[in-house]
Amino acid sequence: TQLLEQSPQFLSIQEGENLTVYCNSSSVFSSLQWYRQEPGEGPVLLVTVVTGGEVKKLKRLTFQFGDARKDSSLHITAAQPGDTGLYLCAGRSGTYKYIFGTGTRLKVLA
């Protein structure tokens, strides 16, 4: 069974601080996605990474896919209260489905 473990599970930081969220697995994924989910809403796709070692930037968010395609990280620079939410990684398993990680709940305090 493929599992994606995220760490930390919870994170509470002050506005302006930097943070990194990790997504780890013992399995290789052909691609990996990061989502943000608000309470009562569906996950919203932030990025898809496909190539081992790939780095993608989305404003203050930097996503990296591990060289072996087993892990990924999300780094947020100068966090803002609007970044508060549940961050999910999801690895592509086979052709048609994504396996979701355990989630990291981020709270940014003003």
Partner 1 sequence: EPEVTQTPSHQVTQMGQEVILRCVPISNHLYFYWYRQILGQKVEFLVSFYNNEISEKSEIFDDQFSVERPDGSNFTLKIRSTKLEDSAMYFCASNGGEQGPSYTFGSGTRLTVV
57 forms part of the interface with partner 1 (CB under 8 A) = no
Question: Closest separation between CB of residue 39 and partner 1, Å?
Answer: 10
Closer by beta carbon to partner 1, 48 or else 84: 48
104 forms part of the interface with partner 1 (CB under 8 A) = no
Contact 67, 52 (CB under 8 A): yes
Closer by beta carbon to partner 1, 1 or else 14: 1
Of 8-16, 19-27, 31-39, 73-81: span binding partner 1 (CB under 8 A): 31-39
88 forms part of the interface with partner 1 (CB under 8 A) = yes
40 forms part of the interface with partner 1 (CB under 8 A) = yes
DSSP letter string, the chain: ----EEE-SEEEEETT--EEEEEE-SS--S-EEEEEE-TTS--EEEEEE-STT-EEEETTEEEEE-TTSSEEEEEESS--GGG-EEEEEEEEETTTEEEE---EEEEEE-
How far apart CA 44 and CA 47 sit, in angstroms, is 9
98 forms part of the interface with partner 1 (CB under 8 A) = yes
Residue from 11, 90, 106, 108 touching partner 1 (CB under 8 A): that is 90
Q: Which residues bind partner 1 (CB under 8 A)?
A: 31, 33, 35, 40-45, 48, 50, 88, 90, 92-103
